[in-house]
A and B are shown apart, each in its own frame.
Chain A
């Protein structure tokens, strides 16, 4: 072996140590990682603090909010909720979403549990499509209904509103007692009748 030997020529319990030079590639890695630190700190912390996590998060959110608003303004007035409901095609995906996200509280057949029963003619927040979309979007956090607008897409939420509407008049396995006020065919409150 063409090793460089240790000048002390000392051994420990029979263990010999040679004294080869530090490998060049090894030193290279060491220097590069040190140099990286020297550049990284001024780059992120002084020149581009906007790239640090919280600032970047804020910028990203703002960009998406602006994009969504611009899109909403540009979008041509589409069919109304009622027209979309009639057009159909939402049943299957809405049912699947309902089972995944809503059944824990409203039961798979809409009979209610932690949340209200959807099969009767009574609503707390109104039963029009607009009412339903609104309550699913915003939730009723103080009463334990989740706001779904960050986790579900607008079309998913509309479809869920249709699905909830379609459950009205069906017969669930176990029906929770009615909550709220009675509504008419369109879902508008009929003021005088409470259960």
Chain B
């Protein structure tokens, strides 16, 4: 057989590797900053773009899409070329992919602190950036499938299956969750409202975890683990079973983020049960990865790379067990909205995604720069700092979540809340917020040690030529063997089957929610927001209040006693987007309307500690100073009307004057209490919105 000679594109891998390192440091640094802000509120600095609400999405987006994203691309480009024995399809497309992705990240880093956000978690970026993501993703997909087409290796290894599933599913998730009507260049409204928006969002949100943070990393694991351990994968048939069951089941689990919410019970049950069924498929990956080392466990003692990989896989196993447990309704009562969830995601992010990435970087850097690693000792030090950091982080958040969760649910023997004062529960966990910040800082320091190590390793490296390889040409002879073995040689069929597997769950859950009215019983007294309230709502979105406040009172006595009657599906039909939130650092706000006088809100937003001693909420003084912008109101109402909110022509025409009139009633009330000159300030719109929340149902 004649062999063909060719070269792998190594430069693109090096670029993605540096990108993941740099963005990882940035994302984690923002994480440490917001951790400190929760422990010590003055760290919010009083500058709008540095407050917790705006930085939190920057942190999540940076670590998911910039750190994990670039890591995936690095590993995927490296391993795919070698597994398929070919260079990437097009160097140009690779370059567009790389630079396009970095530009998107920079755009995110600029817009999020400015408060330009859709507020949907991990999908906060506004519509022009959404379009850019779609474009770059399609470019990558063309490049990827082009590479598969020109492969020399006929069969696709399991890593490739996972990459294919990721590329296809993320595209579908991103497009359907980002459907929005633009109001202006940097503002849009989700086409879905309330319950529907929540369901689509968490179908997306959970599967961002699945198809961005799990399946691509399993792909990386299937390549780098046997490479680093120099051992065989444990079981091919386990690969098959766990691959298909994982991608089929994962897509159904989104509703476990909405247990006890206004989502219909049947959908909640589906979310819980599919999450439990996911334990075995997830652990299939763990078994295959860990048992690669069977017979060679002693290698762990010396090799920092294996240490990173093995611990990563262990955290994967832990997270994929804890996740289904947290999906059990009775446990979710306690854990949801609490720091326990934060502990859980960081086990996955820092342990699984982070450590797998570091292991991969330490393995790749010497190979891509043809240099020995500068210091194995430093790499080992990084490992221990990272591991300790994760453990401190997770334990502190676990204790904090458990403590605060139990306090919030606690009743005395006569059936009265033991801790009616929310802030008391917050103050109890502040020491753990400090501890968490320390754990995060330790982890970040470890990454800085890695940065130093790889700078030292690569500085002055001269031999950067692409690796030369040779392989037999693609041979088209009749396929034999078992069904799946044949399927592995048919990428198109394989991709179509993958798409079918991941579409079923989404369709079964989402279509009835959009089409069957009984899922969202309507409430006659629920009316659209007034123009001024809508402006206030947009300010709420801009400031990222949703990062600390939920608007979803669960049907639990502990919540209805504290906040008022539980939230009904019909109350959210005009909420484009929904703002139910996922974390309660502050109390629920769904029934805040009418609870306090306007003056209270004014004082509270100016300085929360003026009315609630010990509050950790940031100050929002700029809302008292900035002028209200009502100019875009008609456009906002028109956009809302186009997606079914019943604003008629007259309402749209008189939107600005209506808003001014409503603003005057509030500012008059404030003036009667000694606050002058507030009628055209942003705070008025925010107060109008807060005073409206959850009140329609009482009419």
- Check: B451 CB closer than 8 A to any chain A CB: no
Q: Check A64 against B415 for contact (C-beta < 8 Å).
A: yes
CA distance A20 to B236 in the complex (A): 7
Instruction: Note all chain A residues with C-beta closer than 8 A to B611.
Output: 104-105, 114
Instruction: Note all chain A residues with C-beta closer than 8 A to B673.
Output: 114
Which B residue's beta carbon lies closest to that of A152?
B420
Instruction: Note all chain B residues with C-beta closer than 8 A to A146.
Output: 595-596
- Check: B421 CB closer than 8 A to any chain A CB: yes
- Check: B104 CB closer than 8 A to any chain A CB: no
- Check: A33 CB closer than 8 A to any chain B CB: yes
- Contact mask B578-612 → A, CB, 8 Å, 1/0? 00000000000000001111111001000000111
Q: Check A114 against B603 for contact (C-beta < 8 Å).
A: yes
CA distance A66 to B287 in the complex (A): 54
Instruction: Note all chain B residues with C-beta closer than 8 A to A45.
Output: 265-266, 269
- Contact mask A90-101 → B, CB, 8 Å, 1/0? 000000000011
- Given A54-B566, A151-B420, A18:B234 Cβ within 8 A: yes
Selected contact of B283 from candidates A10, A19, A29, CB within 8 Å: A29
CA distance A40 to B280 in the complex (A): 18
- Check: A186 CB closer than 8 A to any chain B CB: no
- Given A18-B232, A19-B236, A151-B562, A68:B415 Cβ within 8 A: yes
Interface stretch, picked from A73-81, A121-129, A137-145, A160-168, is A137-145
Selected contact of A29 from candidates B239, B260, B280, CB within 8 Å: B280
Instruction: Note all chain A residues with C-beta closer than 8 A to B155.
Output: 10, 12
- Check: A150 CB closer than 8 A to any chain B CB: yes
Q: Check A8 against B485 for contact (C-beta < 8 Å).
A: yes
Looking at B235, B294, B424, B600, which has the most chain A CB atoms within 10 Å of its CB?
B235
- Check: B276 CB closer than 8 A to any chain A CB: yes
- Contact mask A43-82 → B, CB, 8 Å, 1/0? 0110000001110110011001001100000000000000
Smallest beta-carbon distance A97→chain B, Å:
9
Selected contact of A41 from candidates B226, B235, B273, CB within 8 Å: B273
Selected contact of B612 from candidates A18, A27, A61, A104, CB within 8 Å: A104
CA distance A27 to B237 in the complex (A): 13
- Contact mask B205-235 → A, CB, 8 Å, 1/0? 0000000000000000001001100011111
Instruction: Note all chain A residues with C-beta closer than 8 A to B283.
Output: 26, 29
Q: Check A144 against B599 for contact (C-beta < 8 Å).
A: yes
Instruction: Note all chain B residues with C-beta closer than 8 A to A13.
Output: 79, 82-83, 85, 157, 223
- Check: B297 CB closer than 8 A to any chain A CB: no
CA distance A183 to B641 in the complex (A): 54
Instruction: Note all chain A residues with C-beta closer than 8 A to B555.
Output: 53-54, 56-57
CA distance A64 to B597 in the complex (A): 31
- Contact mask B245-282 → A, CB, 8 Å, 1/0? 10000000000000010000110010001101101110
CA distance A143 to B279 in the complex (A): 53
CA distance A146 to B600 in the complex (A): 12
- Check: B556 CB closer than 8 A to any chain A CB: yes
Q: Check A17 against B557 for contact (C-beta < 8 Å).
A: no
Q: Check B485 against A15 for contact (C-beta < 8 Å).
A: no
- Given A18-B235, A45-B265, A57-B555, A26:B287 Cβ within 8 A: yes
Q: Check B421 against A100 for contact (C-beta < 8 Å).
A: yes
CA distance A12 to B151 in the complex (A): 13
Selected contact of B223 from candidates A15, A21, A141, CB within 8 Å: A15
- Check: B416 CB closer than 8 A to any chain A CB: yes
Instruction: Note all chain A residues with C-beta closer than 8 A to B158.
Output: 17
- Check: B560 CB closer than 8 A to any chain A CB: yes
Q: Check B600 against A114 for contact (C-beta < 8 Å).
A: yes
CA distance A100 to B613 in the complex (A): 8
- Check: A89 CB closer than 8 A to any chain B CB: no
Chain B contributes a number of interface residues (CB within 8 A of A) equal to: 70
Selected contact of A15 from candidates B157, B274, B417, CB within 8 Å: B157
- Check: A193 CB closer than 8 A to any chain B CB: no
CA distance A133 to B269 in the complex (A): 44
CA distance A142 to B695 in the complex (A): 12
Smallest beta-carbon distance A35→chain B, Å:
10
- Contact mask A3-34 → B, CB, 8 Å, 1/0? 10011101011111111111100110110011
Smallest beta-carbon distance A50→chain B, Å:
12
Q: Check B233 against A16 for contact (C-beta < 8 Å).
A: yes
CA distance A145 to B416 in the complex (A): 20
- Check: B59 CB closer than 8 A to any chain A CB: no
Q: Check A15 against B226 for contact (C-beta < 8 Å).
A: yes
- Check: A191 CB closer than 8 A to any chain B CB: no
- Check: B636 CB closer than 8 A to any chain A CB: no
CA distance A8 to B158 in the complex (A): 14
Q: Check B561 against A3 for contact (C-beta < 8 Å).
A: no
Which A residue's beta carbon lies closest to that of B419?
A151
- Check: B414 CB closer than 8 A to any chain A CB: yes
Q: Check B420 against A20 for contact (C-beta < 8 Å).
A: no
Instruction: Note all chain B residues with C-beta closer than 8 A to A53.
Output: 260, 265, 329, 554-556
- Check: A37 CB closer than 8 A to any chain B CB: yes
- Given A16-B226, A114-B673, A150-B561, A101:B273 Cβ within 8 A: no
- Contact mask B525-563 → A, CB, 8 Å, 1/0? 000000000000000000000000000001111001110
CA distance A10 to B485 in the complex (A): 11
Q: Check B280 against A20 for contact (C-beta < 8 Å).
A: no
- Check: B295 CB closer than 8 A to any chain A CB: yes
CA distance A36 to B424 in the complex (A): 39
- Check: A84 CB closer than 8 A to any chain B CB: no
Instruction: Note all chain B residues with C-beta closer than 8 A to A87.
Output: none
10 contacts between A and B (CB under 8 A): A16-B226, A22-B241, A27-B280, A40-B273, A53-B555, A53-B556, A61-B560, A64-B557, A101-B421, A114-B611
Known: A60-B557, A104-B610. 4 other contacts (CB 8 A): A18-B232, A37-B274, A41-B273, A144-B599
Q: Which 6 pairs across A and B sit closest by C-beta, in order of nearness?
A: A144-B597, A151-B420, A30-B280, A16-B232, A104-B611, A57-B555
